[in-house]
Structure 1
Amino acid sequence: MGTGGGRRVGRPRADRRPDSGLTPRAELLDAAAELFTTRGYAATTTRAVAERAGMRQASMYHYVSGKEELLAELLESTVTPSLVCARELLADDTVPAERRLWQLCRTDVEVLCGGPHNLGGLYLLPEVRTERFAGFHAVRAELKDTYRQLLAATAAGGALAKSELDLRTDLLFGLIEGVILVRRSDPQRPVPAFAEATADAALRIAGI
């Protein structure tokens, strides 16, 4: 069958970006992660994301509704792996709670600092406070509650009054998320050693 003057099927790729083997949606997420963390969310247009992913702007809307959907998925990707780990640790009462809490802290730091882009830095965007990102806030709240439950299961945490337990949880969780700023100022810091040192400091804050 000849092509004639028919409409071209598929999405044209930018010449400067070789085929990565990713799905179109994954390419858009990767492009958005790069641009949001280097240019800034507000300064990044949907056209720039599409072009970086190697497609036309009109083609982009076959896969995502726009920048907000991309940002929401990127944010959730910084929490979901930690939440999966947290649920498993919470269910495993064969390991002392102190050790499980330390493992969660270490894993969470590795997730926040992992990958080629500092996605944790997106937490600081004012746009993230809006209702559009309720899904991210829900999984983040569940993760924080798991921290609280693990802390309460330790000998030190179990001796705390509810208000003090809540405060210690806030401080511990705040320290873990604070690695975002440290990572931004020193992106070359080795992640494994940084994660372990942060987990050690987190347990000291927790009183363990």
Structure 2
Amino acid sequence: MGTTTGRRVGRPRAVQRPESGLPAREELLAAAAELFTSRGYAATSTRAVAERAGMRQATMYHYFDGKEDLLAALLESTVTPSLVLARGLLADGRSLPAEARLWQLCRSDVELLCGGPHNLGSLYLLPETRAERFAGFSRMRGELKEAYGRLLAATESGGLLDGGELALRNDLVFGLIEGVILIHRSDPDRPVPAFASATADAALRVAGVREEDLPAVREAAGPLRRPAPGPARP
């Protein structure tokens, strides 16, 4: 028989995050983002999230009802800034051609999905996101996809497409943008700004923009817009 040390053997505690100065709710989201993307959603407990954030599990429940709440908030954070930008671009129809506005949205969306410390876009692939709790995220994502479609339809090439072809092109463009989460996961060290611009170029090619017109589109699009995150839709 082995000797006892008087210490209880059990599951190792999560390592606390370094002091960040974030409010408690944001600290919990940062901890959840780190653990969900590194350990996996199913393998992460609410206790582990609370400990990683440096607080007791009971305290966490003052801010979130559980893991689904944390996941929903993280998912919505990957859509809200792009949705705010898309609404602005749709309302700003006179200052920039539609091609440049679509390029801006594509580039910004890729930077949002790939530019953070954790690959939150990978959470889209979780089967849990099909649950009713994530209906708000699904609505937001649907509105964003519709905004892509409206910008695409306003382009010169989009205006020549019938409804079925336009819907297909929009599916392909939107799928390309969200597909960057897999590419980014396979090569996380790829410079995000260059990756985002190249992906925006590819999306506009799918939309029907001619190769020789892309330099003018990029120039018209100008610097990257970074809207402040707006409130999530109910």
* TM norm. shorter chain > 0.5: yes
Amino acid at match of 1:200: D
Are 1:113 and 2:120 an aligned pair?
no
Question: What is the rounded CA distance, in whole Å, between the counterparts of 1:144 and 1:18 in structure 2?
Answer: 37
Question: What is the rounded CA distance, in whole Å, between the counterparts of 1:116 and 1:87 in structure 2?
Answer: 26
Amino acid at match of 1:46: T
**Corresponding residue for 1:78?**
78
Are 1:98 and 2:99 an aligned pair?
yes
Amino acid at match of 2:171: D
1:47-99 superposed Cα distances (whole Å, 9 cap, x missing partner): 10010000111111111111100100000000000011111111112210011
**Corresponding residue for 1:132?**
133
Shift, 1:100, TM fit: 0.6
**Corresponding residue for 2:205?**
204
Q: TM-score, normalised by structure 2?
A: 0.81
Shift, 1:15, TM fit: 8.8
Question: What is the rounded CA distance, in whole Å, between the counterparts of 1:15 and 1:117 in structure 2?
Answer: 17
Question: What is the rounded CA distance, in whole Å, between the counterparts of 2:58 and 2:173 in structure 1?
Answer: 44
- Check whether the contact 2:16–2:51 (CA below 8 A) recurs between aligned residues: no
Shift, 1:17, TM fit: 4.0
- Check whether the contact 2:170–2:207 (CA below 8 A) recurs between aligned residues: yes
Amino acid at match of 2:156: A
Question: What is the rounded CA distance, in whole Å, between the counterparts of 1:115 and 1:109 in structure 2?
Answer: 11
Structure 1 18/194 Cα, relative in aligned 2: closer, same or farther at 3 Å?
Answer: closer
Shift, 1:19, TM fit: 3.1
Where in structure 2 are there 5+ consecutive unaligned residues? 1-13, 210-234
**Corresponding residue for 1:4?**
none
**Corresponding residue for 2:63?**
63
Aligned residue for 1:115, secondary structure, equals coil
**Corresponding residue for 1:5?**
none
**Corresponding residue for 2:28?**
28
Aligned residue for 1:25, secondary structure, equals helix
Aligned residue for 2:157, secondary structure, equals helix
Shift, 1:143, TM fit: 0.4
CA RMSD, aligned part only? 1.2
Shift, 1:18, TM fit: 4.2
Amino acid at match of 1:112: L
1:141-152 alignment runs, 5 A limit? 141-152=142-153
Amino acid at match of 1:69: D
Amino acid at match of 1:106: R
Q: Which has the higher contact order (CA 8 A, sep 6+)?
A: 2
**Corresponding residue for 1:191?**
192
Amino acid at match of 1:107: S
Structure 1 57/86 Cα, relative in aligned 2: closer, same or farther at 3 Å?
Answer: same
Structure 1 199/65 Cα, relative in aligned 2: closer, same or farther at 3 Å?
Answer: same
Q: TM-score, normalised by structure 1?
A: 0.91
